[in-house]
Amino acid sequence: MQTELLCWTKMQAEAGQAIEAIISRKECERAAGNGLFMWGVGNAPAVPIKALARLNLQIPVLFSLMKSKPKVGDRFPEVTLVWRRYIYHHGVERDLPENVLITSRGAAGGSKRRHYALMCFSQHPLHLTRGIGFDHRAYHNASGTGAPIAPSQVTALVKRVNSPEPTAEYEVNLQAHLIGSLWVRLSDPMVLDADQIQKVSCYNGTTTRAWLQFVSEIRGRRVAADTQHQYLLI
């Protein structure tokens, strides 16, 4: 049987924003980045990611809605962070592309220095879809011992080991491809104040120019004009 490699991640409310609002914001990001957007995740990249990135592969990434309700900490975070830089697979730190806005929850009285992101590409607008089943039991982890996907895993690089069953527990609610460095560690977080958090939650701009200006304002620094396409060079 041919092995299929893909990235699977479960999504839900994060940093005080409903999943519908997050996807709407990511569509602004994708449109302003000529297809490029980045999706924040909590766990570190799978071991094979660096090698796969060097091969310049495009790996499918499937997004599924979580079964459980959002945790209180995700709905009402004590602190909300915006991330401004990332480490690509050669170990060099760079500014995030100018169209990218990644937020996450933080913790009051502490500093969060570890967060990660999937580097994604889609030619098509992002929106929630329904009715496409995903049988996660047909896939095992692509690294380590190749164990089945654990219930606690939110994001995983996986390979198909069995034929999918028609009775799937999850759906493919969003899909794209991983490109460039595929799955990266973020750096240089900044705490957002209440006004900035409100602006992110209620963003309703309609033009690429408005989105890029908004991202620059929230990230608190001027981003170099050529960073939008850095992923093509790595």
Q: Please give the pLDDT value at position 23.
A: 95
Residue 144 pLDDT class (50, 70, 90 cuts)? confident
Residue 30 phi, psi dihedral angles, 5° rounding = -65, -45
pLDDT in tens, 178-201: 999 999 999 999 999 999 999 998
pLDDT at 212: 97
The arithmetic mean of pLDDT across residues 199-228, rounded, is 79
**pLDDT tens-digit profile of 35-50?**
999 999 999 999 999 9
| Calpha distance 197→80 (Å, rounded) | 7
CA distance 16 to 38: 18
> Given this model, what pLDDT does residue 202 score?
87
For residue 224, pLDDT over 50 is answered with no
pLDDT over 70, % of the chain: 90
Taking the model in full, what pTM does it have? 0.89
Share of the chain above pLDDT 90, in %: 68
Contact by Cβ (8 Å): 228, 176: no
Q: Give the pLDDT of residue 206.
A: 85
Q: Average pLDDT, stretch 123-147?
A: 93
Distances (CA, A) of 207 to 105, 171, 211, 212: 27, 31, 6, 9
Q: Are strands 174-191 and 59-65 parallel, antiparallel or unpaired?
A: antiparallel
Number of domains observed in the structure of the chain: 1
Higher pLDDT pick, 233 / 79: 79
pLDDT recorded at residue 114: 86
Between 64-68, 73-77, 107-111, 123-127, the lowest mean confidence (pLDDT) is in 107-111
Sign of the four-CA dihedral 212, 28, 186, 202: positive
Name the residue range of residue 206's domain.
5-233
Distance CA 174, CA 118 (A): 14
38 vs 126: CA distance, rounded Å? 12
pLDDT of the residue at 111: 60
